[in-house]
A and B are shown apart, each in its own frame.
Chain A
């Protein structure tokens, strides 16, 4: 049965989540790492059965990574962003591979570009980068300009070539 967005927000607020109303069909949800799997199972049970994407944000000033799970409901036509904060020095998140099989690739990608470990996922081999020996490239402390200058002889403002 299709629910309105306000009804869904009420259900989530009643369960004690902090909910952010973003757009006409999008809401965000901040959860704790310990409860992540339970929260995702609950969302799945009320109709949010499709995992679209997993991504991460590097909050370097706060010393935390934010892992974002994009979850879509075909019945309610609502997009939920489930955000979980983890410590930047020990970034470990439980895997959701048992809930959604396709998360295998998303977790590999997030691990490759941010260095976040997914506990329980046994195959976190690189997907895109070949022969990468530096720190993960999408972290904020990775200086891509300096990297390009040192490795590819890049010249600032185009050089005189």
Chain B
């Protein structure tokens, strides 16, 4: 997979645009798993996310950041991909909790994926099970700094490496042969290597 190139030289107008972008992040209120319970305290008066210009948004067409809040089952993954592809650029993904990093306590379940970054590009991950609202606020402020400096461009990676992501998505969503049993292990690994190249 190609590494993302960060442009060192940024024009004045980019800086101005990014300044306003990072001050008005609208996050899509799409809740998967158990992490969604940490968002109401983050949004309401105790931690008050809105003082940084972060607010909830109901539709993907108007949202800037997608929070994946917890374990992702195969059915949810399908919806997450549809949602992510509907969002207009620039868009960012915040993966929430250890389930989206390595599967967490559901790592050996038959219907939850283990690493979200294989299927959609992730800008920033918050570890913890569950992360406290302070961690969420910290991650969102880090995301704001990354937007200002031009580092938060994972959505460009999705376009450049579309085949890699699509192959990974199809591998889990469009199974045609049994994973256990007849199919030898090497077969699958070979397919995966091809997709990465």
Partner-B contacts on A (CB < 8 A): 129-135, 137, 142-155, 158-159, 161
Contact = CB atoms under 8 A, between A and B. Distances in A.
Interface string B149-190: 000000000000000000000011111111111000100100
A3 B181 CA distance: 52
Contact of A147 (B98, B176, B180): B180
A143 B178 contact: no
Given A142-B110, A147-B110, A155 B102 contact: yes
Nearest to B168: A153
Nearest to A154: B114
Contacts of B98: 158
Contacts of A132: 175
B111 A134 contact: no
B182 to A, nearest CB: 10
A133 B108 contact: no
A148 B107 contact: yes
15 contacts: A130-B74, A131-B173, A133-B176, A134-B180, A135-B181, A144-B109, A147-B179, A150-B180, A150-B188, A151-B171, A153-B118, A154-B108, A155-B102, A158-B102, A161-B102
Q: 8 smallest A-B Cβ distances: which pairs?
A: A145-B108, A154-B114, A144-B110, A152-B114, A158-B102, A134-B178, A148-B108, A137-B110
Contacts, number: 76
A134 B174 contact: no
B181 A152 contact: no
Interface majority SS (helix, strand, loop, mixed), chain B: loop
A130 B108 contact: no
Contacts of A153: 114-115, 118, 192
Interface residues of B, number: 31
B97 interface: no
Interface of B: 74-75, 78, 98, 101-103, 107-115, 118, 171-181, 185, 188, 192
Contacts of B113: 152
A150 B102 contact: no
Contacts of A154: 102-103, 107-108, 114
Given A130-B74, A130-B75, A152-B115, A135 B180 contact: yes
Contacts of A159: 102
Contact of A135 (B101, B109, B178): B178
